[in-house]
């Protein structure tokens, strides 16, 4: 749908964003009339959407995710033939939530419908504008509106047993170029679901993201969100390997998930701001000579507080709530 579109702001100044650093916006720069963008403050997201997984980690269409039920939290996610919303589609929700927090911090009137330029979203998400990136927005809006979610997680002191979609409505507005006849993308609008809107306005659980989050792969994005949500002001935390696999939404077998985690952990800088490693406490303490997948833990720590690393003193993930 959008392969023939060009963002009007992008066309005016000719800048492309897809590289290393997030291009800053002057703090005094006002939003254009009718727009909530540009994003002036930090990228932020709601904690529940970081701790639990609601999105597919695959770019291949999936019509539903494995139900999540840990005895306390339940999550069901179903989609249309276009597939459920992906971890990459989630970036639009993160961006929209960040714009809302921006407006709240400036004391401006809030609205459940967020309108922005694709150009500014690409700047924040570190994506190079082009035909495929506009197609990406089109597909993301379709999946965000088509995905059906049901959970017992309450927001703003309210809950519902009904299914709901991330976007109550979503649309892209364009104009015709008088000279070429091309359709030029002017803005994107998304009306957030009540569940997320309540959480942003009332729960005070918005956490700041490192901009390098947008450069990460799907699983690495989820690992970063888990680390960011659970470390908080603490130097680190620990979580069982299988529990982490279910929390991040991986559908790999546990042995394959372990192998992938070991590979990621072996990189020089696996995650922005955080490190992690896999351990078997029974082996470490000499109680066993063989590692057991079921007893393995993943220990995360803040890189800026590595001197305080002490796995014995780190809380379990759910104790950091």
More confident residue, 24 or 159: 159
Q: Are 174 and 35 contained in the same domain? A: yes
Q: Given a cut of 50, is residue 117 above it in pLDDT?
A: yes
Q: Are strands 68-69 and 206-208 parallel, antiparallel or unpaired?
A: unpaired
Per-residue pLDDT, 207: 98
How many domains are there within the chain?
Answer: 2
Whether the bond between 293 and the residue before it is cis, its omega within 30 degrees of 0, is no
Q: Are 267 and 155 contained in the same domain? A: no
28 lies in some domain: yes
Q: Are 137 and 276 contained in the same domain? A: no
Q: What is the mean pLDDT of the chain?
A: 87
Tell me the C-alpha distance between 50 and 106, whole Å: 25
Per-residue pLDDT, 102: 96
- Give the C-alpha distances (Å, rounded to integers) separating 47 from 43, 257, 320: 13, 24, 12
- Convert the pLDDT of each residue in 152-181 to its tens digit: 999 999 999 999 999 999 998 887 778 887
Q: Are 155 and 247 contained in the same domain? A: no
Per-residue pLDDT, 150: 98
269 lies in some domain: yes
- Convert the pLDDT of each residue in 198-250 to its tens digit: 999 999 999 999 999 999 999 999 999 999 999 988 999 999 999 999 999 99
90 lies in some domain: yes
> What pTM does this model have?
0.87
Q: Are 224 and 111 contained in the same domain? A: no
Tell me the C-alpha distance between 270 and 279, whole Å: 17
Q: Are 25 and 173 contained in the same domain? A: yes
Q: Are 14 and 34 contained in the same domain? A: yes
180 secondary structure, DSSP code: T
* Residue that is last in its domain, among 156, 186, 208: 208
Tell me the C-alpha distance between 240 and 283, whole Å: 15
Per-residue pLDDT, 134: 78
Closest among 92, 86, 94 to 59, alpha carbons compared: 86
150 lies in some domain: yes
* Residue that is last in its domain, among 208, 231, 251: 208
Q: Are 143 and 195 contained in the same domain? A: yes
The percentage of the chain sitting over the pLDDT mark of 90, rounded to a whole number, equals: 73
Q: Given a cut of 50, is residue 308 above it in pLDDT?
A: yes
1 lies in some domain: no
Range of the domain at 93: 6-208
For residue 43 the two structure tokens come to 């990228």
Binned at pLDDT 50, 70 and 90, residue 149 comes out as very high
Q: Are 50 and 193 contained in the same domain? A: yes
> Packing angle between helix 241-248 and helix 218-231, nearest 10 degrees?
110
> By mean pLDDT, which of 96-110, 162-176, 244-258 is the weakest?
162-176
* Residue that is last in its domain, among 162, 179, 208: 208
């Amino acid at each position: 749908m959008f392969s023939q579109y060009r963002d009007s702001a992008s066309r005016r100044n000719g800048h492309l964003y897809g590289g290393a650093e997030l291009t800053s916006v002057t703090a005094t720069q006002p939003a254009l009339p009718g727009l909530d963008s540009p994003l002036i403050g930090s990228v932020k997201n709601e904690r529940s959407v970081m701790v639990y997984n609601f999105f597919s980690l695959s770019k291949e269409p999936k019509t539903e995710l494995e139900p999540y039920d840990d005895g306390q939290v339940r999550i069901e996610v179903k989609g249309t033939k276009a597939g459920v919303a992906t971890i990459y589609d989630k970036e639009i929700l993160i961006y929209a939530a960040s714009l809302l927090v921006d407006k709240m911090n400036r004391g401006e009137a809030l609205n459940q419908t967020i309108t922005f330029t694709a150009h500014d979203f690409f700047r924040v998400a570190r994506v190079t504008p082009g035909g495929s990136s506009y197609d990406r927005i089109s597909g993301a809006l379709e999946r965000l509106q088509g995905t059906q979610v049901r959970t017992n997680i309450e927001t703003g002191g309210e809950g519902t047993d009904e299914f709901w979609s991330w976007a109550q409505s979503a649309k892209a507005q364009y104009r015709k170029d008088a000279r070429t006849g091309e359709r030029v993308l002017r803005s994107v609008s998304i009306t957030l679901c009540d569940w997320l809107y309540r959480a942003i306005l009332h729960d005070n659980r918005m956490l700041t993201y490192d901009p390098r989050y947008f450069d990460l792969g799907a699983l690495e994005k989820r690992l970063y969100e888990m680390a960011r949500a659970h470390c908080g002001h603490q130097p680190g935390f620990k979580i069982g390997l299988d529990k982490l696999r279910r929390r991040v939404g991986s559908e790999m077998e546990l042995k394959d998930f372990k192998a992938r985690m070991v590979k990621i952990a072996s990189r020089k800088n696996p995650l922005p701001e955080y490190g992690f490693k896999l351990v078997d406490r029974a082996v470490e303490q000499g109680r066993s000579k063989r590692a057991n997948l079921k007893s393995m833990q993943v220990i995360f720590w803040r890189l800026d507080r590595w001197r305080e690393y002490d796995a014995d003193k780190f809380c379990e993930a759910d104790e950091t709530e």
